[in-house]
Amino acid sequence: MRLYDEEISSRLLLGTAQYPSPSILQRAIRDSGAEIVTVSLRREGADGADGFRDCIRQTGVRVLPNTAGCHTARDAITTAHMARELFSTSWIKLEVIGHADNLQPDIFGLIEAARVLSADGFSVFPYTTDDLVVGEKLIDAGCRVLMPWGAPIGSAQGLRNADALRSMRSHFADVPLIVDAGIGRPSDAAEAMEIGMDAVLTNTAVAKAGDPALMARAMAMAVEAGHIGFCADPMNRRETAVPSTPVLGLADFG
């Protein structure tokens, strides 16, 4: 998988919020095999930020800072610039939240911020909806990756509109698509990959599991299985049964 000209082996991205302890977070990252983790700048500003940075640094993974909690393009742009200085990376997961309850992206602010940040040399990973027109606008703004939601953040509802994601896969055939938000179980991750998504990002489903490290491992296996299944070109669904053993040529014992 190539993301902004970088070769990435793992198709599972992991969020780093809400874990019971730093050691459990480290085990989850290790067992997930993830090469990229997202980090909120607001988390960095809290007490113990240096310890948290060290915790992530020790895992050796690549950090993808995000603009979580930003509700305007201006705030997201400012946060992105701060993240670039703090983490020494031009990669940014861009979030501009438009709805306080379902955390749906503000697509107008998102496109505005994406255009400004792309022009300023950022590699933008936009958290967006599954709307094709919005996707086109983000590509025009300079994004080379799209991160459509599966369902509202932290809801664990899985893929609420799998048909829309299939349409995105068909329409943006050459654009990396990463399902972000809504993944609740390994089966959700496998479904996303079977549709043809390039990767899955999950946080809450792992962090809030009874055993986060074990869930991280399960998510990694599901992502791999789903991707391999997609590459194998699975058969289409049928409305009626079709015998696996040919009827013609059977022996007649009558």
Contacts of 51 (CB under 8 A, 6+ apart): 22
The answer on whether 154 is annotated among ligand-binding residues is: yes
Q: Which helix (H) or strand (E) holds 94?
A: strand 91-94
113 vs 118: CA distance, rounded Å:
8
The answer on whether 102 is annotated among ligand-binding residues is: no
Q: Which residues are catalytic?
A: 93
Q: Which helix (H) or strand (E) holds 51?
A: helix 49-59
Q: What is the DSSP string of 190-230?
A: HHHHHHT-SEEEESHHHHTSSSHHHHHHHHHHHHHHHHHHH
The answer on whether 109 is annotated among ligand-binding residues is: no
The answer on whether 182 is annotated among ligand-binding residues is: yes
The answer on whether 192 is annotated among ligand-binding residues is: no
Binding residues: 154, 181-182, 203-204
Binding residues for 1-deoxy-D-xylulose 5-phosphate: 154, 181-182, 203-204
